[in-house]
Amino acid sequence: MKIIVIGAVAGGTSAAAKARRNNDSADIIIYEKDQDISYSGCGLPYFIGDRVSSVMELTPRSPEFFKSKYAIDIKIRHEVLKIDIPTKTISVKNLETGAIFEDHYDKLIISTGAQAFIPPIKGITNEHVFFLRNVQNALKIKSFIVNQRPKSAVVIGSGFIGFEVMENLMACGIRVTMVERAAKLTPNLDEDMSLYLEKLLSNKDLTILKNANVVEITNQGVLLDDGTLIPGEMIIVATGVKPNVSLAQEAGLLLGVTGAIRVDDRMMTIDTDIYACGDCIETWSTITKKPHYRPLGSTANKTGRICGDNITGGNEIYAGNLSTGIFKIFDISVASTGMSETEALKDGYDIEISHNIKPNQPGYLGGRELLIKAIADRATKKILGVQIIGYEGVDKRLDVFVTLITYGATVDQIFNLDLGYAPPFSTTKDPIHYTGMILD
Ligand code: FAD
């Protein structure tokens, strides 16, 4: 059997490695148009801020590693131009030599990922404008900082990448202004939580502008639609990503309502010999089963593994996701899972909402407040979603709620959770218990 994978970052390499573990005789080949493979995109902001000293730390595995450990052949700088389903062939361009050749597959895995969304803003192609999607983007940003020594920057977009880049530019001594077109920050937060985040950020040395619609990028900075110029010697555009679907679409595979590749719960496309995984696919909500697009490394690794398993005769099933996300900005952690209040109302739920602010551990050990907002369904008493903002211990509470929501827990079950307690870790009644007590 010959398995061809397109794309060698999180989804593609996970799929290929799992396929190899299941099948030690298949020919497995990955075509990757970039020169970097299997890197941690999630670590790129920290490379910019010098917390990761070398980009090599984010790209620990080379094609030689995959060859010797998994007998997987990775061809970098090879772009797949076309998939021909009837003949099960792909055409590939060697980007070094320009040569175009064909290759044949028995099973094909599409893991072409996503690319930065480029908003239609005048001046977006200027040399001091950057996107952060891959290793080469990060190197370009780093080299600009080292060579040009900018003193100011504008980050467009207040999603998690925008915030992570902002923190790391500031670590380089750059003054940063974040501009956000919406009336609130970060897509996963409701407005009340966004205001709380702004309050926590208000004592940091940064500027965040909401309702700020950039219409032009000039050499001086960004121009808003009301004529204000926000100065910035470098501009980072972090306005989301879009799935790379043109290969799949041109081959006749089905896209979902979100525009990403449609797959079933075994990652199979509408062709039984073609599977897909990672940021190029549409997934669905664990709660509502409705399709959505949630391009995250956590999901790319899972769907990659499921893909590799099923393509080699396994039967691993993907259960959907809760859009769980977490990021850090300085000492503040921002987390969310499941539905926001806005989403739940849009979906017609009759909801109960709780907010509780409690310390993560006793005051005598320096406990600091965290705010938990929870959304529950009145009809079933099930928890639908949670947003948490605080300092230490946000991640642990988030993951407890993820588990509760995944297994359909009702609000009356929260208080009885036998969570671990000792002063360095939590309080006798944990903030999670308080959420249950309020909602029940
Ligand atoms: P990609 O990483 O996009 O890889 C797809 C690969 O396919 C690319 O290398 C591309 O060159 C190749 N390709 C495309 N078309 C072709 C073709 N025609 N021929 C050959 N090759 C092709 N996720 C989290 O869960 N948590 C985080 O904290 C987090 N932080 C992030 C921070 C940043 C700055 C970024 C950029 C992303 C972050 N992510 C995070 C998201 C995570 O990195 C992605 O979800 C993950 O990389 C997706 O992996 P993928 O393999 O599906 O796609």
**pLDDT tens track for 173-220:** 999 999 999 999 999 999 999 999 999 999 998 999 999 999 999 999
Average pLDDT over residues 72-85: 98
In this structure, the residue with its CA closest to atom 15 of ligand 1 is: 112
163 CA distance to ligand 1 centroid (A)? 18
| ipTM (interface pTM) | 0.99
Average pLDDT over residues 399-407: 98
Average pLDDT over residues 343-347: 97
Q: Rounded to an integer, what distance in angstroms lies between the CA atom of residue 29 and that of residue 109?
A: 10
What angle do the packed helices 297-311 and 10-22 form, to 10 degrees? 30
pLDDT of residue 67: 97
What DSSP element (H or E) covers 247?
helix 246-251
41 CA distance to ligand 1 centroid (A)? 6
Question: Does residue 113's CB lie within 6 angstroms of at least one atom of ligand 1?
Answer: yes
Q: Rounded to an integer, what distance in angstroms lies between the CA atom of residue 217 and that of residue 211?
A: 17
Q: Measured at the alpha carbon of residue 290, what is the angle toward residues 395 and 6, in degrees to the nearest 5?
A: 80
pLDDT at 60 over 90: no
CA-137 nearest atom, ligand 1: 36
pLDDT at 433 over 90: yes
Average pLDDT over residues 422-431: 97
Mean pLDDT for all residues in the chain? 97
Question: Does residue 12's CB lie within 6 angstroms of at least one atom of ligand 1?
Answer: yes
Question: Does residue 298's CB lie within 6 angstroms of at least one atom of ligand 1?
Answer: yes
pLDDT at 383 over 90: yes
Average pLDDT over residues 309-327: 98
Task: Report how many helices (DSSP H) and strands (DSSP E) the chain contains, helices first.
Answer: 11, 25
User: Torsion over CA of 192, 198, 201 and 204, rounded to 10 degrees?
Assistant: -160
- 183-192 burial, b at 16+ Cβ within 10 Å, e below that, comes to ebbbbbbbee
Percentage of the chain beyond pLDDT 90 is 98
pLDDT of residue 28: 98
Percentage of the chain beyond pLDDT 70 is 100
In Å, how far are 140, 165, 191, 238 from 133, measured between CA atoms? 11, 12, 27, 9
Q: Rounded to an integer, what distance in angstroms lies between the CA atom of residue 179 and that of residue 213?
A: 8
Question: Does residue 296's CB lie within 6 angstroms of at least one atom of ligand 1?
Answer: yes
Average pLDDT over residues 369-391: 98
pLDDT at 266 over 90: yes
Average pLDDT over residues 372-392: 98
CA-247 nearest atom, ligand 1: 18
SS3 content of the chain, % helix, strand, coil (to 5): 30, 30, 40
Question: Does residue 34's CB lie within 6 angstroms of at least one atom of ligand 1?
Answer: yes
Question: Does residue 293's CB lie within 6 angstroms of at least one atom of ligand 1?
Answer: no
pTM score of the predicted model:
0.97
Question: Does residue 247's CB lie within 6 angstroms of at least one atom of ligand 1?
Answer: yes
Instruction: List the structure tokens of 7.
Output: 């794309």
